[in-house]
Amino acid sequence: MGPSRTAFSSRRSYILYIGLSVTLATCLATLLGFTVLTFTDISALTPYTGELGRLIGIVSDTHDNLEAVREFAPELNEFGVDVLLHAGDYIAPFTLPELARVECEEFIGVFGNNDGERDFLREKAEELGFEIVGEVFTGEVLGLKVAMVHGVHEEVVEAFAASGEYDLVVYGHTHEPDVRKVGDTLVVNPGEACGYVTGERSVAVLDPDKLEVEIIKF
């Protein structure tokens, strides 16, 4: 398992810290008689791209549990995830607007074996600016080569992992968290967001620069 929540601090905390520091420094300089040049808009500062980096949220098996989505969305927002990956089993289209509570720049999902209303899910996803690509996603996410499937067929997950072509393989379906390395490939199952099977709800946050992941139970 990856580092503590402290290591995954939200960029919002960074901006707040900078804002307070600028304010205090301005007051002190004024008292000492210095000429002070100030920013009128803190958002004009160059975004921090160092250790606090960009983050990926990983979710699977929400299974229409809107209460669970409303609980984990603030958790992921606290981390400040930039991309949300969903490994399938949303079930009904009305779950997707709830997933929009996660304040990410990009949503990429695949279908699970219980996603019967696929046309309606695609339609709702398009309305929300989400991308549900089908049963398999392969592509680049924040600099990582990623493969994502729901994971109905374990051998498919293992084949992606063993191929050596991907930095990250994401899957769901088992409702059990799984974080492991296969060669240089990181394999992640965030567990079930719904909590219906195991009684435990979980999602994951990944630092793509360090390939470190934290399973978050809520």
The residue whose two tokens read 């549990």 is 65
pLDDT of residue 67: 98
Rounded to the nearest 10 degrees, how much is the dihedral formed by the CA atoms of 129, 133, 138, 139?
-20
Task: Tell whether the model's pLDDT for residue 29 goes beyond 60.
Answer: no
pLDDT of residue 147: 99
Kindly list the strands in the beta sheet with 185-190, ordered across the sheet, starting from the edge strand earlier in the chain.
136-141, 144-149, 168-170, 185-190, 177-182
Enter the CATH code of domain 56-217: 3.60.21.10
Q: Where are the domains of the chain?
A: 5-44, 56-217
Beta strands at 144-149 and 177-182: parallel, antiparallel or unpaired: unpaired
Q: What is the DSSP-derived secondary structure letter of residue 163?
A: T
Amino acid at 169: V
Of all residues in the chain, the percent with pLDDT exceeding 70 is 76
In angstroms, how far is CA 134 from the centroid of its own chain? 19
Give 203-213 pLDDT, tens digit per residue.
999 999 999 99
pLDDT of residue 2: 43
Of all residues in the chain, the percent with pLDDT exceeding 90 is 76
Which of 74, 142, 149 shows the shortest CA–CA distance to 109? 149
pLDDT of residue 36: 44
Give 59-95 pLDDT, tens digit per residue.
999 999 999 999 999 999 999 999 999 999 999 999 9
Amino acid at 181: K
Name the pLDDT band for 133 (thresholds 50, 70, 90).
Answer: very high
Q: How far apart are CA 205 and CA 182, in angstroms?
A: 19
Give 11-26 pLDDT, tens digit per residue.
444 444 444 444 444 4
Say if residues 1 and 188 touch (Cβ distance below 8 Å).
no
